[in-house]
Amino acid sequence: MFCVNYQVVVDNAEAYTYDDEVIKHAEALGKPGLVEINAKEDSFIFTVETTGAITAYELIMNAITVLRQKLDAVRLQDDDGDLGELGAHLGGP
């Protein structure tokens, strides 16, 4: 962590675990609003673990390929609303 313009910035978000205790402590000291925690709106962190059969990179790339195929199926759906195979995955008709 480091301080910028009276703000504490977490430089390794993966090592940080959100805990609202600091906010509760500030309120208990009679300083509500003293501490504000904001997440970055334009990013997220996720962890991928595999059994070793394929690499995490391959897993992510395969998942992106499947997601693109499913999004294409939605985009190209028939006028009657039949989603075909995608509908089955979504629990539809």
Question: 7-53: per-residue pLDDT in tens?
Answer: 777 777 777 777 788 888 889 999 888 888 877 778 777 788 889 99
* Contact partners, residue 34, CB within 8 Å, separation at least 6: 26
- Number of structural domains found in the chain: 2
91 and 53 in one domain?
yes
pLDDT higher than threshold 80 for residue 58: yes
Report the pLDDT value the prediction gives residue 59, as an integer from 0 to 100: 93
5 and 41 in one domain?
yes
Rounded to an integer, the average pLDDT of 56-70 is: 92
Round to whole Å and give the CA distance between 6 and 34. 11
66 and 24 in one domain?
no
- CA 48-54-56 angle, to 5 degrees, is 25
**pTM above the 0.75 mark?**
no
Report the pLDDT value the prediction gives residue 92, as an integer from 0 to 100: 54
16 and 29 in one domain?
yes
30 and 4 in one domain?
yes
59 and 82 in one domain?
yes
* 33 Rama sector, left if φ>0, alpha if ψ -120 to 50, beta otherwise: left
Backbone angles phi, psi at 23, to 5 degrees: -70, -45
- Which structural domain, as residue segments, surrounds residue 41? 1-45
51 and 34 in one domain?
no
